[in-house]
Chain A
Amino acid sequence: MSEQTAVAERGPQAAQVDRPGQNVTGEPGRGRKALDGTLNVFSHAFLVVWGLLTALPLLWVVLSSFKDDAEILGDPWGLPSALRFDNFARAWTHGHIGQYFVNTGIVLLGSLTLTMLLGATAAYALARYKFLGSRLVYFVFVGGMMFPVVLAFVPLFKIVGGVGLRDTLPGLMLIYTAYSLPFTVFFLTAFFRTLPDAVAEAAYIDGCGPFRTFFRVMLPMAKPGLISVGIFNFLGHWNQYLLPVVLITSDEKQVLAQGLANLAISEGYRGDYSRLFAGLTLAMLPVLVVYAVFQRQVQSGLTAGQMK
Chain B
Amino acid sequence: MRHGKYPLLAAFLLPPLALYGYFVVSPYAQSFLIAMTDWQGLSPAYEFVGFDNFKRMVGDEYVWNALLNNLWLLVLLPLLTIALGLFLATMLNVGGRGGRSTVTGVRGSGLYKVIYFAPQMLSVSIVGVLWAEVYNPRSGLVNSALRAVGLDGLAKVWLGDPAYAFWAVLAVMVWANVGFYVVLFGAAMQSVPRDIYEAAALDGSSRLNTLVRITIPLLWDTIQVAWVYLAILALDGFALIHVMTRGGPNFSTDVVGLRLYTEAFGDYKWGYASAIGVVMFFVTLSVTVLSLRLTRRERIELS
Q: A124-B12, A150-B280, A178-B23 are in contact. Are A54 and B110 (CB under 8 A)?
A: no
Give min CB distance, B278 to chain A, whole Å.
7
- By size class, the interface of chain A is 35 or more
The proximity string for B residues 30-59 relative to A, scoring 1 for CB distances below 8 Å and 0 otherwise, is 110010000001000000000000000000
Chain A residue nearest to B90 in the complex (CB): A43
Q: How large is the interface on B (under 10, 10 to 19, 20 to 34, 35 or more residues)?
A: 35 or more
A241→B239 contact, CB < 8 A: yes
Chain A residues whose CB sits within 8 angstroms of the CB of B25 once the complex forms: 140, 144
A306 at the interface (CB under 8 A from B): yes
Interface string of B234-250 (1 = CB under 8 A from A): 01101100110000000
Interchain nearest-CB distance for A58 vs B (Å): 7
Give CA–CA (A175, B20) in the complex, Å: 9
User: Complex: how many Å from CA A34 to CA B24?
Assistant: 60
Output the least CB separation between A168 and chain B (Å). Answer: 14
Chain A 1-29 near chain B by CB (<8 Å), digits 1 or 0: 00000000010001001100110111010
Is B163 interfacial (CB 8 A cutoff)? no
Q: Are A32 and B98 in contact (CB under 8 A)?
A: yes
Which listed residue (A40, A54, A74) contacts B119, Cβ 8 A?
A54
Most B CB contacts (10 A, CB to CB) among A125, A154, A160, A175 go to A154
Known: A51-B116, A150-B277. A159 touches B26 (CB 8 A): yes
* Residues of the A chain whose Cβ atoms lie less than 8 Å from the Cβ of B139: 72-74, 76, 273
- The answer, yes or no, to whether A164 is at the interface (CB within 8 Å) is no
- A284 close to chain B: CB less than 8 A: yes
Q: Is A276 on the interface with B (CB-CB < 8 A)?
A: yes
A156-B264 Cα distance, complex, nearest whole Å? 12
Instruction: Kindly state whether residue A82 has any CB partner on chain B within 8 Å.
Output: no
Neighbouring B residues of A246 by C-beta, 8 Å: 261, 265
A155 & B243 in contact (Cβ 8 Å cutoff): no
User: Which one of A40, A276, A302 lies within 8 Å of B95 (CB-CB)?
Assistant: A40
Which A positions have Cβ atoms within 8 angstroms of B?
A: 10, 14, 17-18, 21-22, 24-26, 28, 31-32, 35-36, 39-40, 43-44, 46-47, 50-51, 53-58, 60-61, 64, 72-74, 76-77, 118-119, 121-122, 124-126, 128-129, 131, 137, 140-141, 144, 146-148, 150-157, 159-160, 174-175, 177-179, 181-182, 185, 200-201, 204, 209-211, 214, 235, 238-242, 245-246, 256-258, 260-261, 263-264, 273, 276-277, 280, 283-284, 287-288, 290-292, 295, 298-300, 302-303, 306-307
User: Can you spell out 14 A-B residue pairs with CB atoms less than 8 angstroms apart?
Assistant: A47-B112, A58-B130, A76-B140, A124-B12, A125-B8, A131-B5, A151-B277, A210-B5, A242-B238, A257-B123, A264-B129, A264-B133, A264-B243, A287-B121
